[in-house]
Structure 1
Amino acid sequence: MEFDARDPAHEIEGVPFPTLARIRSQEPICPSPTGGWYLSTRRHIDTALKEVETFVADLAPMAGLPGTEVVPPEELFLSEIPEPRHGRIRRLYNSNFAPHRLRNTEEFVTRTCHQLLDPMLAAGEGDLHAGYAMPIPSATLADLMGLPSEAGDKFMGWSFDGTLMQRPGTPGINPSGPPILDYFREALAERRASAAAGEERPHDVIIGLMDAEIDGVALSDAEIVTQLQFMVMAGVHTTRALLVHLAHRLLRDRDLFERVAAERDLVAPLVEESLRHDAPVQATTRRCTRRVELDGVEMQAGDWVEVGIGSANRDETVYDDPDVFRLDRDDPRDHLGFGGGPHICPGATLARIEAISAVNVLCDRVAEMSAVEGATYPPLPGGMSHLPIPARLTAK
């Protein structure tokens, strides 16, 4: 039995959850057709996410680099940085996205959601993907980074054209890296020039990284722009998928929309169940650093491992009615929607703020949402890269 977690057919036909259920039952650690292994159960995936020195993140193939490419340390994304430096860089993320730093973010996100809905409600229809879900995380990150609003549009453009995840050395792009790195280099140079001139500026994420030191040594410019790129990668791709999944589900399930609109204490459980049932990231890649054995399956150093987040989130040994979308689970946050272990997503608090705000504004402003007759909708979950989510909207 094999399973290809990266099969592009999943975006068109949907993730084959019945197949994953058989895999969990019959061969929970199965081969991947591209080489390596696919982990399907919560138990095995918890192990892989906790043992970060054995199963290391390596995003080089996703960036278009061969798996054997050696990436310079200052160009490693947060999830790829080995300990102990990972923990020290991670603390900088936690500091910049701590609740006290996000005190005004909910207000900004809510205002942005209203602005995005205004023209859609005036027209009576709109695309809940490109017109609503996608701009929210892009605009929010631009604001947190102290960048002009146009930066959010740039982030979305780089996400759509495929350059957002590229890095220096990716075949076919400028040797200095994708456009987002040049953009952040210019922003960083401007911050440094302002600091040299004695100008005071409000704290933002870029200044936070610029002023940070690890063991008394400041981060290099290459490290700073690389981590800023990673923040956008994680914030735009993952959070936008969460927001699209939420909007899509509320659009296609009128009873659920009406129930949540009437009982706002259900918004938070709705977000958590979406993270579980419709995980924004269905699988993430790890690479073995040593020979390891899991339940009799021997993996060698260098083997690639697909960590099946979406499958683990529907593990029958963990969840009652795992394939049912429910808002009454005893522990709504018991899922791997943000990963797990010591490398759990540091932007989880921000993503939850964006998701809850986006749902609340929809419930505040929209009396009724309905699908557009004849439109083709992507499956849930999956297919959220470029496909529109057209909706007819009636204002309250």
Structure 2
Amino acid sequence: MCRRTLYALAFLICSVYADPRIIWLYNYDSGSTQNIVPVENGAKLHVASNDNVTLLQNIKIDAGLGAVSLDQVRSIADFKVSSNQLIITSTLDPPTSATLTGFIYVTTAAQANDNTFSVTTVDDLKTLSITSGKSTSVVLNTQFTTTHIRPFNAPDKTTYVTNVQQFGSTSLNFHYGYPNDTVITTNQFFENPQYIDNYDDNGEVANKTRVFFAHVEPIQVNLPYWYITADGPFNIYLDNIYINLNIHNTTSVNTTGAFVLTGVWQNPFVNFMTDPTRGGTTGLLLTTDLESDATILFSRPQSNFDLNFGKTNRMVHGQLLTDAMFNTLQINSTALYPGAMYCQYFVFTGDLLPVTSSVATNPPNPQTTPPVITTTKLASNLNLSSFILLVSSFLCLML
């Protein structure tokens, strides 16, 4: 084999494991034979688990410097990997191991040496503060537990996000999944600010309007792990509690929030605070990955408008806008496990309405087919054609 081929093969082998790793603890018991996990030498290891300490003491991990019990690893903030593999052993019997809920997150070596990269394990109330510059912050969730009766729709793992503060001109984005060496924006399920396309008379994008929301509603992120990217300083509270936000009243006429719907859905309903003296905009940033049909319904006293999505009608990172202020937003599905939907909603006021303005009294015809994406801004008269779907950095898949 020639030297060039050997170099190429070595590069390929080294590149295979350049992504972070998620290792679920329930996969390891006393009978496990697949105990070696390839990783990058120089990576860091984080344990996200609130499993019983006694159980974690029965699981050991060797990252190159000898075996250490998992309860010890959990208490070390920066556990460095000194090998290109992890060896995980367990003395737990299979039924006991199957009850474990935690996981191990292994960074890449580059992330471990990047001072703009951080990992936060949310096992109680945490404050995430970034003081300057660009940053990537991974959030790991532990199992949701309660001393009360567990709500039937409570997620296994969740983050309750509050007190979002962005300083200066900071842009803040929430992503599902975990970050790797490739910058991804289509997995963003929350963005502040929003950028609104403005169109000329020919239907071409003339410029963009930056809309920043100083007020952010509480957000329940029902995911085992996710991450935050920003280009400046921000402050945010992260907690591992579950608050039922399925009926939510916004507390500002200019605001944004989000729903991360996974597992069991309890159809959410939002009452928007409105200013009857002004016009404005209502919008969504939407990603759907559904197994069953779901409907997004906007309502106001004079009219309703619905959007329908399902298994064969998906949207990925689509921005949907209407130049009308609606009073409520409702997401409905008749299935118990419809799939996943990431839905950021936002409303902001515009110009004062004329004192003598009249409002259309006839509601639009109900929409029963997938929405047609258009980039032409139409007149605002609250019929079906007035619902403008302005698309910003999205992929709409009609499978």
TM-score where L is the length of structure 2: 0.21
Name whichever structure is richer in strand by fraction.
Answer: 2
Name whichever structure is richer in helix by fraction.
Answer: 1
Bigger Rg over Cα:
2
Query: Which is bigger in relative contact order (C-alpha 8 A, separation at least 6)?
Result: 1
TM-score where L is the length of structure 1: 0.21
